[in-house]
Amino acid sequence: MPDSAARDVLQRHHRRLAVYLRALLPGTDPDPHLWEAAERLLGQAGRAPTDRTAERADEIARQVAADRRKTIAPLPFSDDLFRQLADSAGPILDQSDARPAALAQILRQLPPPERDLLRRRYELGLSAEQIALAEGRPTAAIARELTALHGSLVSAVREALPDAGPEPPGGAADLGRLTDQLLDGTITDDGRLVLETLLLADAAAQTHYHRHAALATDLRWHYAGAPALPEPPAEVRRGVTSREWAVTVGFLVAVLAIIAFVALRLTGYP
């Protein structure tokens, strides 16, 4: 596949990769995972069917997440829940391209204090603790405001752009709060255990988890911009092997010998 076509595939699925990886590798820096997945997608673009590039992007993201989990301690969730979350992301992944416009419209309607809180959190990259320190307020208060704002945004996006997933489960607010903590890396061991219990074998809870993970990605991209894309790999020119050099040299020697023999015959040398 030409470089331009490979890059087009990556651009079309860049956000989808980011949303999926954010859900499967919460509490970690998402950029290295996304870069690795993007490079794999570029490297395999020419070998994958062109009519199922979204499926291929999902497969690569899942492979990257599975590989990265081997280096994470403690794990965000069990292997069983990892597989369930990987299988349940479809309804939210399929909205990856449509969701940013809906979110942007919702953000424009927020009161200035809420917009400023999101700007500091996602554009400036400040933690709840840093925002609280700057304002002279308790960290818990800022965390509660962010949690409530995230929950409101998830509901507003879902109202503006209904997804194919089930309705939010009972206790969606607590589920969202724990999910946000897992995504930020601030969850406690007890909170991690509770979240695992809420998510296991519960399709509605898992879809709501994916809504919050997608929102985290969309907010970061809205305020800070999308991470840079890797360049398609340049075409590698294969070097000449030792055997090919030997055959070439042997052929040249034979040709030179024939030329010398013919020259001697023509000059009358016996």
pLDDT band at 125 (very low <50, low <70, confident <90, very high): very high
pLDDT at 153 over 50: yes
Confidence at residue 72, expressed as pLDDT on a 0 to 100 scale = 93
Confidence at residue 53, expressed as pLDDT on a 0 to 100 scale = 84
pLDDT in tens, 197-238: 999 999 999 999 999 999 999 999 999 999 888 876 554 334
- pTM of the predicted protein model: 0.82
Burial of 148 (0-12, 13-18, 19+ CB in 10 A): middle
Helices 53-69, 30-44: axis angle to 10 degrees equals 130
Confidence at residue 10, expressed as pLDDT on a 0 to 100 scale = 83
Cis peptide before 76 (omega within 30 of 0): no
Asked if residue 185 lies in contact with residue 28, where contact means CB atoms within 8 angstroms, the answer is yes
pLDDT in tens, 157-198: 999 999 999 999 999 999 999 999 999 999 999 999 999 999
